[in-house]
């Protein structure tokens, strides 16, 4: 099979990048069918038609500190045998695939960035001190009593890191310095009246620069070690982030 790989960074949360990519479809004249879909992480289409015996197009969506990295692989086999077939792959088909993917990825990046403006983003801070991380128990609402990372919604026009610093100031009365991006998970519920499942929680490792955390909005604040994380009654959406937090505590 002849194969080409493409990566592009989309300034949008995982869910938005995935959903917009899905709506845009694939830039091929060949008939492809979806054979796998794991929203918002990956999908795969297969098919063929015309000169193409088979075509496979897979996409993976990776969260990063700068947005979603979309990693796409296009593979195909044409029906022309031997040297002529290989020549066709290396010239005409390759050129066509490169041009179509470039246009497609530019469109995806622009459309996802626009769509992201309408989706409320949630940021969380994994504040670490020595071998412990600060966790907070939600005081009210449908998630009352569950544990979470301090943080909250990014306001319109605000950057994600500015929101992280502001939320920690408001909720804990501390000044923090964000250190590194830890991970992103989809939030299944409705956030701030938006579409269910559209928002994500993006968690950053942070250090407290000044102040001692004071409990302004939560029922309880607790400093916990890596081996105590699992046993807490977390908001279910947060659980996939715990391995990254444990790994961080292990390497500091």
Ligand X SMILES: Nc1nc2c([nH]c(=O)n2[C@H]2C[C@H](O)[C@@H](COP(=O)(O)OP(=O)(O)OP(=O)(O)O)O2)c(=O)[nH]1
Interface positions with ligand X (CB under 6 A):
122, 124, 143, 148-149, 151-153, 167, 187, 191, 201, 235, 237-238
CB 199 within 8 A of CB 187: yes
Nearer to ligand X, 100 or 235 (CB): 235
- 9/143 with CB nearer ligand X: 143
- The residue among 67 and 151 lying less far from ligand X, judged by its C-beta, is 151
Q: Smallest gap, in angstroms, from Cβ of residue 47 to ligand X?
A: 37
At its nearest, how many Å lie between ligand X and the CB of residue 229?
12
Q: How far is the CB of 161 from ligand X (least distance, A)?
A: 15
202 contacts 160 by C-beta, under 8 angstroms = yes
Smallest distance, ligand X to C-beta of residue 143, A: 6
- Identify which of residues 32 and 191 has a Cβ nearer to ligand X in the complex: 191
Residues 6+ positions from 85 with CB-CB distance below 8 Å: 78, 79
Closest residue to ligand X, judged by C-beta, is 152
d(CA 18, CA 40): 5
Write down the least CB distance from residue 237 to ligand X, Å: 4
Q: How far is CA 31 from CA 25, 129, 241, 251, in A?
A: 11, 54, 38, 48
Which residue, 27 or 151, is less far from ligand X as judged by CB?
151
Q: Which is nearer to ligand X, 72 or 148 (CB)?
A: 148
- Closest separation between CB of residue 242 and ligand X, Å? 11
Ranges assigned E (strand) in the chain: 2-10, 31-38, 42-49, 52-64, 67-78, 122-129, 132-137, 147-148, 151-153, 175-186, 200-210, 220-225
CB neighbours of 112 closer than 8 A, spacing ≥ 6?
A: 10, 11, 12, 16, 17, 20, 21, 68
CB contact at 8 A, 27 and 81:
no
Phi, psi of 149 (to 5 degrees): -90, 135
Half-sphere exposure of 132 (CA within 13 A, CB side): 9
């Amino acid at each position: 099979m002849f194969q080409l790989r493409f990566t592009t960074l989309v300034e949008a949360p995982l869910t938005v990048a995935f959903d917009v990519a899905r709506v845009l479809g694939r830039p091929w004249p060949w008939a492809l069918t979806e054979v796998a879909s794991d929203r918002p992480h990956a999908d795969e289409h297969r098919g063929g038609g015309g000169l193409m015996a088979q075509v496979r197009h897979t996409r993976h969506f990776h969260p990063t500190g700068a947005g979603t990295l979309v990693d796409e692989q296009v593979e195909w086999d044409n029906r022309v045998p031997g040297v002529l077939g290989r020549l066709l792959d290396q010239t005409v088909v390759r050129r066509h695939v490169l041009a179509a993917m470039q246009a497609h990825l530019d469109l995806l990046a622009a459309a996802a960035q626009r769509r992201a403006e309408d989706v409320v983003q949630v940021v969380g801070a994994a504040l670490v001190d020595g071998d412990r991380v600060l966790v907070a128990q939600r005081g009210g609402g449908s998630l009352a009593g569950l544990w979470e990372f301090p943080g909250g919604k990014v306001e319109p026009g605000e950057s994600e890191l500015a929101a992280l610093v502001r939320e920690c100031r408001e909720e804990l009365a501390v000044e923090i310095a964000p250190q590194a991006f830890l991970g992103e998970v989809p939030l299944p519920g409705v956030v701030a009246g938006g579409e269910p499942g559209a928002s994500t929680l993006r968690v950053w490792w942070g250090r407290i620069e000044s102040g001692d955390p004071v409990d302004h909005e939560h029922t309880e604040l607790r400093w916990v070690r890596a081996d105590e994380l699992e046993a807490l009654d977390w908001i279910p959406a947060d659980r996939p982030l715990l391995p990254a937090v444990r790994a961080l505590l292990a390497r500091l």
